[in-house]
A and B are shown apart, each in its own frame.
Chain A
Amino acid sequence: RKEVEQDPGPFNVPEGATVAFNCTYSNSASQSFFWYRQDCRKEPKLLMSVYSSGNEDGRFTAQLNRASQYISLLIRDSKLSDSATYLCVVNKGTYKYIFGTGTRLKVLA
């Protein structure tokens, strides 16, 4: 079983839709969680850290469920510019990031 698993997608959604991605992790000792966004042939860019209490940044909401060992990302009012691959990242409180393979999102006009 992979340490971090994501549905690869693609998720094709119309502009304005709400879309949610989940990511499961296998190591219960994991402490820090992040969502990164990666555009085609570009570097990953930090979207948001995920805190135990959940956090929101504009149209983006991240949640952590430690009991079920998953994190989620919700995107409201999708824009064309949200089209990208969303990477789930987990670590055990150290520098070593474990990346998921990403979920592809395509927002359609």
Chain B
Amino acid sequence: NAGVMQNPRHLVRRRGQEARLRCSPMKGHSHVYWYRQLPEEGLKFMVYLQKENIIDESGMPKERFSAEFPKEGPSILRIQQVVRGDSAAYFCASSPRASGAADSYEQYFGPGTRLTVT
């Protein structure tokens, strides 16, 4: 059973370019979460999606950032006009469901995409 997959693992962009990060959840998981981790800091929640729906994007900057999880294909986190402050590790996690027993909240993380903005 393949785990959460993310690509690319490393991404270098110049200021002003666009960054597209992809995440395929674990098989059987329909809930996807994106987190950002800056050096020496904890992971910060960005957005929670189910298929074709954004459930909570309260952690995502209002401008330049968007996320989607289409009916077919991976979830995509898109950052337009990147700036140096966007350099971070972006992790995607998935879970089988988001309500019910406590263990249903267990989230499994992908290997992350390390974005470097030059």
Contacts and interface: CB of A to CB of B under 8 A. Distances in A.
Contacts of B56: 95-96
- Give the bracket for the number of chain A residues in contact with chain B: 20 to 34
A49 B110 CA distance: 19
Interface in A73-87: 87
Interface residues of B, number: 28
A96 B108 CA distance: 13
B106 A46 contact: yes
A95 B102 contact: no
6 nearest CB pairs, A to B: A43-B109, A99-B42, A101-B42, A95-B98, A99-B43, A32-B102
Interface of A: 4, 31-32, 34, 41-46, 49, 51, 87, 91, 93-102
Interface of B: 31, 33, 35, 40-45, 48, 55-56, 89, 91, 95, 98-99, 102-103, 105-112, 114
